[in-house]
Structure 1
Amino acid sequence: PKPATGMRARRYLDRENNLTWRADPEPDNPLLAGRWWSDPVADPSTPAQISAEDEWAQALGVGLGSTITFEVSGQQVTGVITSLREVHWESLRSNFFVVFSPGALDALPATYVTSYYIAPNKADALLRTLVQRYPNLTAIDLDAMTSTLQDMVSRLSRATGFLAGFTVLAGLAVLLAAVLAERSRLLTEAAVLRTLGASRRQLGTIYTLRFALLGGAAAVLGSGVALAAGAVACVRFLDIPYQPSAWPILAAILLSTALVTVTGTLGVRQVLSTPPMQSLRST
């Protein structure tokens, strides 16, 4: 195996790892390599077997046959990776990076985790009863947690949309100001082209194409930067796969191109309506 390098590997090495054991593989954690242990009881004379999450193993530079040692409350437990799994973290199940074979963790302190569904109108009463009878019990309401996360994502989405709209409006204002600042040059350019035989419709088409190309190039560049920033944030900071949707990106590019084209065309309307002789005399 390759040595663990990079910020992501360092985070995995420095953080606390939750360990568990299973006799049978998790139904929604398909094996990508190796095999699940056939003997459900570990032999004390041999290292325990480990099933590792595939991306976790790749980040640490380990694979099938690698030996890993964990320290738990001052005690060490060693295992050999015999299989690699794909974990669907979005399932909100009790997923783990590292799963040991049965018997390997029996001598270590443990925390037991389970989940259950109860009707919302009975949840509070059951929670009070459980806490009264078992003071060390920690109960987590997944519905409340999911609602909070959805509310946070919704607020972030609205804030991002507001900033995106404000940025587009600011860009359009800058474009309109640039067109007005170049009014003198545009008047001369249009007058020369009109003198050489270009019609007003032809000039309008030229300017429309110019602003369409300008807006399209800016939209593609901005979308590319946004995609790169999203990929970096997801892969390096959030540790989640980046799966951008093509339709919103395409819609943003088309909308930005249309707005720039319309704004630029409105900015040169006075230029197109000015007679060539008047433009040449004023310059």
Structure 2
Amino acid sequence: LTYSRAVPDGTRLVAGDWWPADYAGPPLVSFDANLARGWGVGIGDTLRINVLGRDIDLRIANLRDIAWRSLSLNFTMVASPGVLERAPHSHIATVRADAANESAILRAVTDALPNVSGIRVADVLGAVASLVEKIAAALAATGSVTLASGALVLVGAVAAGQRRRMNEAVVLKTLGATRQQIRAAWLVEFGVIGAVAGLLAALVGTLASWGVVRFLMRADWVFLPDILAATILGCIVLMLGFGYAGTASALRVRPAAFLRNE
């Protein structure tokens, strides 16, 4: 929360108008457009804030598109003049400096103004980056467990159909089909199954990632076709590999011995 007479640098109004520099009317506020959308408020609605026990009603005069990722100074609410000037408040400023000069600048500021606190944004960003890396590692581990579980399910499915494959191989060999022809037919079947599974996984994963990034993280979603293609191709290759390994024993069955045991 802050106050300002003029439009802050870099401000992009998406609705409403900024108040005049000499405005002296009822309390107004400039509000974050994304937050307003989430709260279901708009131009003309009233927000009530509490400053040191005093309730203040602010009417929304305009909505701003705030680029929080720019790391520039921004505030969710900017009040019109004449509302908060007499309330206790703090001043904040940013300084860009080379890493070699950061300590010297901080010492100079604190020596001249002992009540000023300096915060290195690089340290904060480093902590955030470390947290994001840990979250990414946890998600990767979860994905690995899911992939391993899927592989086990796939192995079980292939093993469950082993008896049926043996029957098919015996019948087809009896009808004159060669091993190569039977194997090719089975690989086509496994390839189609892998392609369908890959397409479904890609579709569900894409929609889920879009929803999380767009609505939960409030960030720009980026489509990655390479990863999508790799997912589909990986499913096909995995299915072909397990299918080939699982049907090799079925192709080695001799029709005479199999039918005699039946």
Q: Would the TM-score normalized by the shorter structure come out above 0.5?
A: yes
Partner of 1:272: 251
- Of 133-142 and 82-91, more deviation after overlay is shown by 133-142
Deviations 1:108-165 (A, max 9, x none): 2212111001221222233344445545433221122222322332343344334323
Distance 1:55 1:190 in 2: 62
Q: Which runs of 5+ in 2 are unaligned?
A: none
Distance 1:140 1:257 in 2: 52
Partner of 1:243: 221
Deviations 1:15-55 (A, max 9, x none): xxxx1123333443321122222x11331xx3122221112
Partner of 1:42: 23
Distance verdict in 2 for CA 1:274–1:26, change over 3 Å: farther
1:201 aligns with 2:183: no
* Superposition map of 1:132-281 within 5 A: 134-227=113-206, 230=209, 233-234=212-213, 238-241=216-219, 243-247=221-225, 248-281=227-260
Distance verdict in 2 for CA 1:242–1:280, change over 3 Å: farther
AA paired with 2:219? P
Q: Are 1:21 and 1:99, in contact at CA under 8 Å, matched by a contact in 2? A: yes
Distance 2:8 2:249 in 1: 70
| Secondary structure of the corresponding residue to residue 268 of structure 1 | helix
Q: Are 2:158 and 2:242, in contact at CA under 8 Å, matched by a contact in 1? A: no
AA paired with 1:276? P
AA paired with 1:40? A
- Of 55-64 and 243-252, more deviation after overlay is shown by 243-252
Distance 2:256 2:84 in 1: 92
Give the TM-score taking structure 1 as reference length. 0.78
Distance 2:192 2:113 in 1: 68
Distance 1:221 1:67 in 2: 47
Distance verdict in 2 for CA 1:180–1:20, change over 3 Å: same
1:23 aligns with 2:26: no
Distance 2:120 2:163 in 1: 67
Distance 2:214 2:88 in 1: 33
Give 2:14's match in structure 1, choosing from 28, 32, 49.
32
- Of 157-166 and 72-81, more deviation after overlay is shown by 157-166
| Secondary structure of the corresponding residue to residue 207 of structure 1 | helix
Q: Report the alpha carbon displacement of residue 234 of structure 1 after superposing the two structures with TM.
A: 4.7
Distance 1:67 1:166 in 2: 50
| Secondary structure of the corresponding residue to residue 73 of structure 2 | coil
Distance 1:29 1:198 in 2: 74
Distance verdict in 2 for CA 1:151–1:120, change over 3 Å: same
Distance 1:26 1:196 in 2: 83
Q: Report the alpha carbon displacement of residue 72 of structure 1 after superposing the two structures with TM.
A: 0.7
Distance 1:25 1:210 in 2: 65
Q: Which runs of 5+ in 1 are unaligned?
A: 1-18
| Secondary structure of the corresponding residue to residue 14 of structure 2 | strand
| Secondary structure of the corresponding residue to residue 93 of structure 2 | coil
- Of 242-251 and 80-89, more deviation after overlay is shown by 242-251
Partner of 2:85: 106
Give the fraction of aligned pairs with identical amino acids, expressed as a percent.
Answer: 28
Q: Are 2:169 and 2:250, in contact at CA under 8 Å, matched by a contact in 1? A: yes
Give the TM-score taking structure 2 as reference length. 0.84
Distance verdict in 2 for CA 1:69–1:155, change over 3 Å: closer
AA paired with 2:260? R
